[in-house]
Amino acid sequence: MIVLAAVAHPDDIEFMLAGTLLNLKAVGAEIHLINVADGSLGSSSLCPEECVRVRWSEAQESARIMGAQLHPPMFEDLGVFYNEDSLARMTSFVREIEPDVVLTQPQTDYMEDHQNTARLMVTAAFSRGIRFAKCKPGRAHFDKPIALYHSMPHGLRDQWGRRVAPERYIDVSGVMPTKIELLKCHRSQAQWLEDSQGMEAFETEMVEMAREVGTMSGSFRFAEGLIRHNPLGFSPAEFDPLQDLLGDICLRNESFAKSEITTNQV
């Protein structure tokens, strides 16, 4: 089973998806990672060129610990746009990896690099089997199903500040020490997140979000939340490899479909 996690910036995976990926790796999944933006603006002190170098090195360190393959970024920070050229590049990338599972950010996260990454991934996954969809560089289309899941937004609230409930909970209690270790690889971000977003201890922020999602689940101490994208055009409705692979540590939120707000989150 091939899993692709595609997010905007270095450290986004570690905040919102690393526990799920560690669990998937433990059951034999092949893990691919991409931070589509290069992290070039994520520093109060480093010039963009140095920041790119440092953040790529940090992301590589995290990927090595996870046992995942990390792919190079495509865009600069604040340069992730939903346009024809970006979509052609992302479509080519998805066709190169041929994933069974795609994990990405929600389309209602707090900033547009995150939102546009999600939009690009949704369309690129949908276009995998469209023979004449623009693709740069050109690659053959493929027809196998893809299951697409969105993470929780950072802070567990959408861009309007509304609380978001997941469609399912992934128990990450057993992998929290490694999830913390992965986030610590992004050393350059500790001061930047405090300066730019008032995040005084980014490790504590991540742990508290996982604790809050675990409490929401009613079953797990720490959890990550996901929302499955509507499978129409991506896979048969019954194709749910995340549930099949993770079993009892993947818990459905039975009240999700009853909430008008949460069903519009992605």
Label the pairing between strands 147-151 and 69-71. Answer: unpaired
Give the residue with greater pLDDT, 149 vs 44: 149
Could you read off the pLDDT of 58-104 as tens digits, one per residue? 999 999 999 999 999 999 999 999 999 999 999 999 999 999 999 99
Angle at CA of residue 49, ends 187 and 66, nearest 5°: 40
User: Which of 98-102, 174-178, 204-208, 220-224 has the least mean pLDDT?
Assistant: 204-208
**pLDDT at residue 45 above 90?**
no
DSSP state of 132: T
- Could you tell me if 88 and 65 are in contact, meaning their C-beta atoms sit under 8 angstroms apart? no
Domains of the chain: 2-264 (3.40.50.10320)
The reported pTM is 0.92
Residue 266 has a pLDDT of 45
**pLDDT at residue 265 above 90?**
no
Residue 164: what are its φ and ψ, rounded to 5°?
Answer: -110, 130
Residue 176 has a pLDDT of 98
**Sign of the torsion formed by the C-alpha atoms of 237, 241, 247 and 252:** negative
Could you read off the pLDDT of 144-164 as tens digits, one per residue? 999 999 999 999 999 999 999
Q: How confident is the model at residue 262 (pLDDT cuts 50, 70, 90)?
A: very low
Structure tokens belonging to residue 31 = 């893990």
| 145 preceded by a cis bond (ω within 30 of 0) | no
Cα atoms found within 13 Å of the Cα of residue 235, Cβ hemisphere only: 21
Residue 197 has a pLDDT of 56
Residue 231: what are its φ and ψ, rounded to 5°?
Answer: -75, -10
Residue 42 has a pLDDT of 75
**CA pair distance 234, 69, nearest whole angstrom:** 24
Residue 264 has a pLDDT of 43
Q: What average pLDDT does range 208-222 have in this prediction?
A: 97
**CA pair distance 224, 41, nearest whole angstrom:** 27
Q: What is the residue-averaged pLDDT of the chain?
A: 92
**CA pair distance 118, 130, nearest whole angstrom:** 19
**CA pair distance 46, 163, nearest whole angstrom:** 34
Q: What average pLDDT does range 162-181 have in this prediction?
A: 96
**pLDDT at residue 19 above 80?**
yes
**Residue in the block written with tokens 């610590």:** 184
Give me the percent of the chain exceeding a pLDDT of 70: 92
| Residue 23 CA from chain centroid, whole number | 15
Q: What average pLDDT does range 8-19 have in this prediction?
A: 96
**pLDDT at residue 206 above 90?**
yes
C-alpha torsion 260→262→265→266, nearest 10: -100
**pLDDT at residue 52 above 70?**
yes
